[in-house]
């Protein structure tokens, strides 16, 4: 099986470095995780971590506006960044001889973002993000499901209560001072993991990293995550919401509170999600889509987040002529069957997951992102090589116990969309 080589060390300023050499192709992937996401936002500024991610592409002291994109495109590279509940990441894949370019660009915005900030840039990117929200959420069928589900699943004082994209009102309220304060609080070497994967000379890479990142000053300690971060293992009841929307078919979202990403029970949840929803032999597909033909599609997955609790997310869209209640009834029946799941169904899910994990690791950018993730979240990059063992350790009995403990009606949120009445 695969064994990804890992060299790990820490700079004096607290920045974590992970190097993983693989010279099959003359390509190098750079990846940085900052330990900040929507969970760190304060009330009235939801969506700020993500808006800030956009500002990181607007140039820094030595890099002109659009320069970051232009220089990487000119090198034949690809780049992007993304914001999630627990983190923000930035990444580029470059021809191997452009490694130094990537390090220069990433270090310049970590060291010198603020001198290049202007109100005009903020206003422009605020407009872009508001359009991103319209595109992803407001102008999409069922597009607001995740913010509704997060609000149902987590109490108002929990950091996962609000969505990553935030509200239009909060985006309007964001100021240049917020940008400055956010940068000084969270964008520090001691809150970052830098990973390099691919074709590079390790000695030269260490030298370049020292030159570009080693001289940046350590920042203040990272403030604790605001609000309530502990949660009861199960919700103790069912919460429901019914939404009338311009959609052709009803859809039901059912989510359960599960233990956070990282522990053994999370991997049981992951295997369970595959038993339920992955591929045409999966329980929900087999029953709801193929046999009963009550649903048009089914989806199930575990949500890898770490503060207090994670979620097992599922949804199914009703077939024309079938109601949301029909779908929910059929769904709940299959969930109950998990308490007595067949060994073969568990084996199938484990095999699928193992192949999929191995396949993902063919890509350098994926390797780099996972190494940053395991370092940032668990201080353990080596988990990239033991992940499949964690999956293989899940037994049918684990799944049965897990289903009995977590997948009951006392531990879930049900969000139902139904077509708006014509003329209403």
Partner 1 sequence: MTPIDRSRVPPAGPPPRVTLPHIEQRALSNGLTLLVVEMRELPVVDVALVTRSGAHADLSDVAGRAHLAADLLDEGTTSRSALQIAEEADLLGAALHARATWDDTEVGMHVLTPRFARAMDLLIDVALHPAYAEAEVERKRKERLAAILQEQDEPRVVASNEFARVVYGDAHPYGSPIGGTARSVSALDRGALAAFHEARQRPGNAFLVVVGDVVADEVVRALEPVLGAWQDAPVPEVDVPTAGPPGSTTIHVVDRPGAPQSELRIGHIGPPRGAPDYFALLVLNTIFGGAFTSRLNSRLREEKGFTYGAGSAFAFRRDGGPFVASSAVFTGASAEAVGIVLHEMQRIREERVSDEELDRAKSYLALGLPRRLETTADILRIVSEQELHGLGDRYYDEYVERVRAVSREDVLEAAQRRFDPAHATVVVAGDHAEIAGPLEALGVGPVVKAASRAETELNRTGT
In the range 208-267, which residues lie near partner 1 by CB under 8 A?
Answer: 210-212, 214-215, 246-249
| Position among 359, 386, 397, 409 found at the interface with partner 1 (CB under 8 A) | 359
| Position among 197, 364, 399, 403 found at the interface with partner 1 (CB under 8 A) | 364
Q: Least distance to partner 1 from the beta carbon of 239, Å?
A: 26
Q: Least distance to partner 1 from the beta carbon of 221, Å?
A: 26
Q: Which is nearer to partner 1, 5 or 76 (CB)?
A: 76
Q: Which of residues 274-293 bind partner 1 (CB under 8 A)?
A: 279-281, 286, 289-290, 293
Q: Which of residues 101-140 bind partner 1 (CB under 8 A)?
A: 101, 103-104, 108, 112, 123-132, 134-135, 138-140
Should residue 98 be labelled a site residue for partner 1 when binding is judged by CB under 8 A?
yes
DSSP string, 397-421: HHHHHHHHHHSSTTEEEEEEEEEPP
Q: Which is nearer to partner 1, 257 or 348 (CB)?
A: 348
| Position among 8, 21, 62, 400 found at the interface with partner 1 (CB under 8 A) | 62
Q: Which is nearer to partner 1, 264 or 344 (CB)?
A: 344
Q: Which is nearer to partner 1, 175 or 293 (CB)?
A: 293
Alpha helices in 112-200 (DSSP H): 119-133, 145-153, 168-173, 176-186
Whole-angstrom distance, CA of residue 312 vs CA of residue 140 = 23
Q: What's the chain's Rg over C-alpha atoms?
A: 23
Using alpha carbons, select from 400, 275, 298, 281 the residue that is nearest to residue 349. 275
SS3 212: helix
Alpha helices in 322-414 (DSSP H): 324-337, 343-360, 364-378, 383-392, 396-406
Q: Which of residues 140-159 bind partner 1 (CB under 8 A)?
A: 140-141
Sequence-ordered list of residues with C-beta below 8 angstroms from that of 122, at least 6 positions apart, any chain: 55, 174, 175, 176, 179
Q: Least distance to partner 1 from the beta carbon of 225, Å?
A: 28
| Position among 7, 14, 21, 75 found at the interface with partner 1 (CB under 8 A) | 75
Q: Which is nearer to partner 1, 114 or 281 (CB)?
A: 281
Q: Which of residues 298-337 bind partner 1 (CB under 8 A)?
A: 317, 319-320
Retrieve residue 285's tokens: 């597909």
- Choices 176-184, 342-350, 372-380, 401-409 (CB under 8 A): range interacting with partner 1: 342-350
Strands (E), 35-86: 78-83
* H/E stretch holding 197: strand 192-198
Q: Which is nearer to partner 1, 169 or 221 (CB)?
A: 169
Using alpha carbons, select from 249, 245, 374 the residue that is nearest to residue 304. 374
């Amino acid at each position: 099986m695969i064994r990804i080589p890992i060299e790990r060390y820490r700079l004096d300023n607290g920045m974590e470095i992970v190097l993983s050499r693989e010279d099959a192709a003359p390509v190098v992937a750079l990846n940085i995780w900052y330990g900040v996401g929507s969970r760190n936002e304060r009330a009235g500024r939801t969506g700020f971590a993500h808006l800030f991610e956009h500002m990181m592409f607007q140039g820094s002291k030595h890099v002109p506006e659009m320069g970051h994109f232009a220089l990487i495109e000119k090198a034949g590279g690809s780049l992007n960044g993304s914001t999630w509940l627990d983190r923000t990441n930035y990444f580029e894949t470059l021809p191997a001889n452009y490694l130094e370019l990537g390090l220069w660009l990433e270090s310049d915005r970590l060291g010198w973002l603020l001198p290049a900030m202007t109100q005009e840039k903020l206003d422009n990117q605020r407009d872009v993000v508001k359009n991103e929200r319209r595109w992803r959420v407001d102008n999409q069928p069922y597009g607001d499901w995740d913010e509704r589900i997060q609000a149902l699943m987590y109490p108002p004082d929990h950091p996962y209560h609000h969505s990553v994209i935030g509200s239009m009102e909060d985006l309007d309220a964001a100021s240049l001072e917020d940008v400055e304060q956010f940068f000084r609080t969270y964008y520090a070497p001691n809150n970052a993991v830098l990973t390099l994967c691919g074709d590079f000379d390790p000695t030269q890479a260490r030298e370049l990293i020292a030159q570009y990142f080693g001289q940046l000053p350590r920042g203040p300690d990272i403030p604790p995550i605001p609000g309530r971060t502990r949660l009861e293992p199960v919700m103790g009841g069912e919460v429901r919401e019914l939404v009338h929307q311009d959609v052709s078919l009803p859809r039901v979202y059912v989510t359960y509170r599960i233990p956070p990403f990282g522990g053994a029970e999370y991997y049981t949840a992951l295997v369970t999600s595959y038993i339920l929803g992955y591929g045409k032999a999966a329980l929900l597909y087999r029953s709801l889509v193929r046999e009963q033909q009550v649903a048009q599609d089914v989806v199930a997955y575990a949500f890898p987040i770490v503060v207090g609790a994670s979620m097992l997310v599922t949804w199914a869209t009703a077939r024309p002529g079938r109601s949301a209640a029909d779908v929910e009834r059929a769904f709940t029946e299959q969930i109950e069957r998990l308490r007595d799941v067949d060994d073969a169904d568990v084996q199938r899910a484990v095999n699928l997951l193992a192949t999929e994990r191995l396949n993902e690791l063919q890509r350098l950018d994926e390797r780099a992102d996972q190494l940053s993730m395991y370092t940032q979240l668990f201080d353990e990059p080596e988990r990239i090589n033991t992940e499949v063992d964690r999956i293989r350790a899940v037994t049918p009995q684990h799944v049965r116990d897990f289903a009995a403990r977590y997948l009951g009606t006392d531990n879930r949120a049900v969000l139902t969309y139904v077509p708006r009445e014509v003329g209403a």
